[in-house]
Amino acid sequence: MNEKTLLITGIHGLVGQYVFRILGSWKGRVVITGKGPCRLPQHHFVYVSMDITDKDQVQAVFQTYSPSVVIHSAAQAQPDHCELNREDALKVNVEGTENLLQASSLSRAFFVHLSTDFIFSGNDGPYDESSIPAPVNFYGKTKLMAEEKVKSYSYAWAIVRTALVYGNVISGTRSNMISWVKTELENNRPIKVVSDQVRTTTYAADLAGALLVIAEREMTGTWHISGKDALSPWAMAIAVADRLGLDKRLITKVDASVFSQPATRPLKTPFIIDKAKRALGFEPLPFEEGLEKVLNGD
């Protein structure tokens, strides 16, 4: 029987929220952490407010709970913010990860780190776990730097890369592609959506399930965890409109050159997930099925 103590960072983020939903299957103690007061529904887990950039605070939390396994999903994940606020991006994504690794070594915890397809250039995909990273924006660079920190950890670790995660979010937390399109179209607001960026869409519940399997089995190494379907944001937006009977005329199909975004986006980063299918029994939902679940409130 698994009686390990699991500690999770970033519980208020989209991935963290979906991991939270299935934590009842964990047979040991669970410690969930985030910044500020807990914003999740009533639960029986231990919640601790923890700023991963505060080294002393992180050390104190880890000394108190001595986790056996850590799932690190907290990050500054907005590419434009990272591009314009590089010191903050480094502090959260790199120094924060290093603080957690140092604290994890106290109990020799198995460390699971959540990373991104944005570590790749988007010029030569699709990508598997052995593909060579070449980030085109500062967000991707910080996540790659964090991966290197994880790889130098003295004890067991796993890196889980994912892409374009979608799902339902609790009130007051950051939206994702599906929730943004739904809100804008329901309010009859026109939107411009890019069609020349292709990523592998990932239903948050599929990712959460895979993270917990990796954590429970202590499956080391690098893993690509995403959905089956490589789509553009425009194709996703059209699918949302079709499913909800909303006005597709509000959606303007554009290419990335239309936007003057501070951070360059890699154009094509589809994932190869054969390793996860083979070793973890990972079988993600097709996008249409994942979308149906999200729009039904799952």
Q: For residue 136, is it within any domain?
A: yes
Whether residue 247 is contained in a domain is answered as no
pLDDT at 67: 98
Q: Which CATH number belongs to the domain containing residue 98 in this structure?
A: 3.40.50.720
3-state secondary structure the chain: CCCCCEEEECCCCHHHHHHHHCHHHCCCCEEEEECCCCCCCCCCCEEEECCCCCHHHHHHHHHHHCCCEEEECCCCCCHHHHHHCHHHHHHHHHHHHHHHHHHHCCCCCEEEEEEEHHHCCCCCCCECCCCCCCCCCHHHHHHHHHHHHHHCCCCCEEEEEECCEECCCCCCCCCCHHHHHHHHHHCCCCEEEECCCEEECEEHHHHHHHHHHHHHHCCCEEEECCCCCEECHHHHHHHHHHHHCCCHHHEEEECHHHCCCCCCCCCECCECCHHHHHHHCCCCCCHHHHHHHHHCCC
Q: How high is the pLDDT of residue 171?
A: 67
Residue 273, CA atoms < 13 Å, CB-side half-sphere? 29
Answer for the pair 113, 159: CB distance below 8 angstroms, yes or no.
yes
| Residue 44 within a domain | yes
pLDDT at residue 31, rounded to an integer: 98
Instruction: State how many domains the chain has.
Output: 1
Q: Residue 38: inside a domain, yes or no?
A: yes
Query: Is 221 inside a domain boundary?
Result: yes
pLDDT for the residue numbered 170? 76
**Structural domain range at position 110:** 6-167+201-227+271-285
Residue 172 is predicted with a pLDDT of 64
Mean pLDDT for each consecutive 10-residue tract of the chain (298 residues)? 86 96 95 96 95 98 98 97 98 98 98 98 97 98 98 98 92 80 96 95 97 98 97 96 96 91 95 98 97 93
pTM score, whole prediction: 0.96
Q: Is residue 191 part of a domain?
A: no
